[in-house]
């Protein structure tokens, strides 16, 4: 069985090299809207999505995330960073899952319109720090929320040279 959605799922790759040009407002809107269509537990729409394109804030987020990871430039030079927040997972057990679905939708949408994306971790740790809370306040995000994940987003400068084969016995069917 094959169709355009299944092809997109098979062809999407994490991009780790971006062109410096900023994506268009229309492209950004399409990606963000795709995130809003992700299923959420009880239909609560708990996640909050914040796109950051202002260069000084992009650099600050990149630096703060890199400090936690011990890696320089974990957003790979992407001109846009999309942050996903949700209720503290200690207060809402589905927060991580809901936010993850939002991020997945946005990655697939980005691929579908010719953009590259890469899921970036460490947002929970990053936004739990005093500097992270200060940044959340500057972004207009309730500091009681938790960071779920982020996307590096932009025009791909290169694509991965090959695709890893899927592992054997990745799934099983029990009837």
Q: What is the pLDDT along the chain (175 residues), one digit of tens a residue?
A: 899 999 999 899 999 999 999 999 999 999 999 999 999 999 999 999 999 999 999 999 999 999 998 889 999 999 999 999 999 999 999 999 999 999 999 999 999 999 999 999 999 999 999 999 999 999 999 999 999 999 999 999 998 878 888 999 999 999 9
CB atoms within 10 A of CB 84: 25
Give me 31's structure tokens: 């990606």
Domains annotated for the chain, with CATH where assigned, are 22-154 (3.40.109.10)
Q: Contact, 94 vs 38, CB < 8 A?
A: no
pTM for the structure as a whole: 0.95
């Amino acid at each position: 069985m094959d169709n355009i959605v299944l092809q997109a799922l098979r062809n999407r790759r994490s991009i780790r090299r971006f062109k410096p040009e900023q994506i268009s407002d229309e492209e950004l809107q399409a990606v963000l809207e795709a995130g809003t269509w992700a299923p959420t537990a009880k239909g609560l729409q708990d996640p909050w999505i914040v796109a950051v394109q202002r260069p000084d804030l992009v650099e600050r987020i990149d630096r703060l995330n890199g400090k936690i990871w011990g890696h320089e430039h974990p957003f790979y030079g992407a001109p846009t960073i999309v942050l996903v927040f949700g209720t503290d997972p200690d207060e809402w057990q589905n927060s991580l899952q809901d936010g993850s679905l939002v991020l997945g939708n946005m990655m697939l949408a980005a691929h579908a319109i010719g953009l590259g994306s890469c899921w970036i971790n460490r947002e929970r740790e990053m936004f739990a720090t005093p500097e992270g809370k200060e940044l959340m306040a500057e972004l207009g995000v309730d500091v009681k929320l938790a960071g779920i994940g982020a996307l590096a987003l932009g025009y791909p400068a290169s694509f991965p040279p090959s695709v890893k084969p899927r592992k054997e016995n990745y799934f099983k069917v029990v009837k």
